[in-house]
Amino acid sequence: MIKAVVFDFDGLIFDTETHEYNVLNEIFQEHGTELPLSVWGKVIGTQAGFNPLLYLEEQLGKKLDQEQLTKLRKDRFQEKIKNEGPLPGVEEYLLAAKKAGLKIGLASSSTYEWVSSHLKNLCLFDYFECIRTSDDVEVVKPDPSLYLEAAKCLGVSPSECLAFEDSANGALAAKRAGMYCVIIPNAVTKDLDFCEVDHRLESMAAIELQQLIAKVENK
């Protein structure tokens, strides 16, 4: 029986991932090249030590002003997200989970500062009883540690948790932890090679939470 829901953050609650990729690809195109999704997709949902701006240097075979490019990337990203809200259906799922008495957690490979600041700007922070981020584990997704820590914090077994993910690395982490997993890919992650999951949605707005839980539990 599902007693808790655990959400990813980037690309699932707030679509930082699409904006980040679009900004980076704009910069690549301005230098006459592309950032392939096949390359970028491998690092979504994890921390792989991949620096796309250094990768741009490698593709061009010449040195670039990394400080200037980093500032440009940050400024353009902030401009793109400044008027963005949560993805469709997110707040409805949080409200439905709260109403149903489900415990609500979050597991993200990003830092606590990043996640908490965005959640507060979106007025969603208070929904979460437990937030686990890269600050809490030695290894992030696809390792299961983040999800195991979230379940422990919520006081439930991983087998009693339903995880919501948008990335292949995140889905693999949730399944490795022993959780149910529903994927809701975004424009950047929709063509990634996902592990076997319990259900796939186009959007949280496509089905009510209780209907989804019944579908997953009766699979």
Catalytic residues: 8, 10
Q: Are 131 and 112 a contacting pair, CB within 8 Å?
A: yes
Closest C-alpha to 178, from 201, 192, 198, 203:
198
Q: Three-state SS for 40?
A: helix
Which structure tokens are listed for 79?
């401009």
How many other CB atoms are found less than 10 A from the CB of residue 80? 17
Tell me which residue has tokens 């010449």: 62
Closest C-alpha to 57, from 23, 33, 73:
33
Closest C-alpha to 10, from 134, 95, 177, 130:
134
Q: Three-state SS for 38?
A: helix
